[in-house]
Structure 1
Amino acid sequence: MTPLSLGTKGKVLRCVILSVTALFALLPFMWMLSLSIKTTPEIYQAHFHILPESFAGFDNYRVVFASAPMLRFLLNGVLVCAAIFMVQLLVCIPCAYALAKLRFRGRDTLFSAVLIALLIPPQVLSIPHFVLLYYAQLIDSYGALILPWIFSAFGVFLLRQFFSTIPDELIQAAQLDGMSEADIIWRVMIPMSAPAIASFGIFSLVSHWNDLFWPLIVLRRAELATPALGILLFRDDETGRQFGPLMAATATIVAPLILAFLLAQRRFIDGLTIHSVK
């Protein structure tokens, strides 16, 4: 048997490190799925094991959809996240194009302001946002969930970095063909920036799908609750009697995120790596 070469040993070592890291990353999800199919007495046993001794998955997931309008929560999440993402694209794409390809006074200053905005936690602006929405009489509405997030500094930064990799000669050729700036954005920049848009879409979806802080502040009606807010209906701080349904509800809410990532995985990775490769 020939000994492994140095390059092969390096590849094996990288695979082992990545496998161990992936296991640690997946361990919370495995624990969540395991608890979602166990009975309450088994959950509180002293010894933990992945596979249940008595399967209670059907009962736990039935409680999730029987005791709360989970489908309504999921629909609210899809509606709010889709609306936020579409509005963010309408705002971020022209801003990113201007910062990347147009020459005007103060461009670098504006880009510096975008970078500074990346450092500001969204919780800092919660009070001004709430006051504005209160005077606009939009509290406890879909508008309250969507309007504060129409501008995304991260989206402008990500798309601007991607637009910077597109050759200026391509834009000049489009201008010679008589295209306006709006036509260039719609017919040239957007089709070429699909990986970056997909990457931004994943980040936006995960951020607002899992957001509990802001919906907890501006919503009062249960029929407007987002998925993260709907999980609170299964919380029992005193006894934890609904711990199995709580994990089942969590798994139900996480599933659409995993599906969205799997569908956009290739473009998501391309959007994050293409700038560094170029």
Structure 2
Amino acid sequence: MNARTYTSRALTVFFLTIGAAILLLPFFWMVSLSLKTPEEIFSPELTFFPGSFYFDNYIKAFQQVPLHRFLLNGVMVCGGILFFQMMFAVPCAYALAQRQFAGRTIVFGMVLAGLLVPYHVTAVPIFLGLAQLQLLNTYAALVLPFVASVFGIFLFRQFMATLPPDLIDAARVDGLSEMAIVWRIAFPAAWPAATTFAIFSIVAHWNDLFWPMIVISDADLATPPQGILFFRDEESGSDVGPLMAAATVVTTPLVLLFLIAQRWFIQGVTMSGIKG
């Protein structure tokens, strides 16, 4: 290794380390505050590490609000959304990638156009429709608007387009129906893309505060981000210690999910863009 290569790698590592530190600093500060006593939190001196680990904040977090209920709501909502998104996106992506039919290019163009439209734009008509169906303050109101994911269709389509046509033809020769090919051949082969999409979907809807604030007013149906708002008090102010403890509890499942699935996540992001 020559000096120029060594210097280039050292600078790369240095800037990556600085970038990672900047990104991780808010999370580190959140965990640090969750382990500090009230005196340390409001101390005029800035300390990055707690003087002693004060776990009572986590106990208070579950005592002040039904945090376990909010976490269960998050699991049910994210799980329901992901299940129906898979049921919808995978067959659509297979059709766009491996089937020939009139208007396929137009349909794929509409999918790409749908990626440019934020769901906030359609919030008002969807809200009015759910109100007419009397579905507000239900799990259905949190799940139904996100059943069809154009991003999921696009991601799976890009991955399934890399599947060799001979594999699909061999499955047809063996007598498999198109739906059997989708779920027994194409979907297992697209598992990295499924993992990638699952992470994107779960993170997006687990952290979503905009839509639950619109359609949910019942505390028993509150999602994790919405539940954290219950720590806010207009008169006495926020109880910072339990608030940071609750935020840590809500964030930890997402971090663990990514650490467990990071290999498939990176593979899915890389391979989904190989073939257009």
TM-score bracket relative to the smaller structure: over 0.9
RMSD: 1.6
Question: Which residue identity is paired with 2:44?
Answer: A
TM-score of the superposition, structure 1-length normalised?
Answer: 0.94
2:193 and 2:272 in contact (8 A); partners too? no
1:81 and 1:205 in contact (8 A); partners too? yes
**What's 2:44 paired with?**
46
The 1-side partners of 2:155 and 2:9 are apart by: 31
1:110, CA displacement in angstroms? 0.9
Question: Which residue identity is paired with 1:13?
Answer: L
The 2-side partners of 1:235 and 1:70 are apart by: 14
The 1-side partners of 2:121 and 2:59 are apart by: 39
Matches for 1:59-208 after TM superposition, within 5 Å: 59-208=56-205
The 2-side partners of 1:244 and 1:63 are apart by: 9
**What's 1:259 paired with?**
256
1:33 and 1:247 in contact (8 A); partners too? yes
Q: Which stretch of structure 1 is more off in the superposition, 239-248 or 255-264?
A: 239-248
CA distances 1:20-49 after superposition (whole Å, capped 9, x unpaired): 111111011001111111223322333322
2:162 and 2:274 in contact (8 A); partners too? no
In the alignment, structure 1 segments of 5+ residues that lack a partner are none
The 2-side partners of 1:250 and 1:50 are apart by: 18
CA distances 1:162-198 after superposition (whole Å, capped 9, x unpaired): 1111111111111121211111101110110000000
Question: Percent identity over the alignment?
Answer: 49
2:36 and 2:241 in contact (8 A); partners too? yes
Matches for 1:232-247 after TM superposition, within 5 Å: 232-247=229-244
Question: Which residue identity is paired with 1:16?
Answer: F
TM-score of the superposition, structure 2-length normalised?
Answer: 0.95
Task: Report the 3-state secondary structure (helix = DSSP H, G, I; strand = E; otherwise coil) of the residue aligned with 2:46.
Answer: coil
Task: Decide whether aligned partners of structure 1 residues 88 and 276 sit closer, same or farther in structure 2, where only a CA change above 3 A counts.
Answer: closer
**What's 1:23 paired with?**
21
Task: Report the 3-state secondary structure (helix = DSSP H, G, I; strand = E; otherwise coil) of the residue aligned with 1:264.
Answer: helix
Task: Decide whether aligned partners of structure 1 residues 157 and 61 sit closer, same or farther in structure 2, where only a CA change above 3 A counts.
Answer: same
The 2-side partners of 1:261 and 1:243 are apart by: 27
Question: Which residue identity is paired with 2:18?
Answer: V
CA distances 1:221-277 after superposition (whole Å, capped 9, x unpaired): 111111011000112345434011111110010011111111211111110112456
2:159 and 2:190 in contact (8 A); partners too? yes
Question: Which residue identity is paired with 2:270?
Answer: T
Task: Decide whether aligned partners of structure 1 residues 104 and 97 sit closer, same or farther in structure 2, where only a CA change above 3 A counts.
Answer: same
In the alignment, structure 2 segments of 5+ residues that lack a partner are none
The 2-side partners of 1:90 and 1:211 are apart by: 22
Q: How many residues align?
A: 275
1:101, CA displacement in angstroms? 1.1
Question: Which residue identity is paired with 2:218?
Answer: R
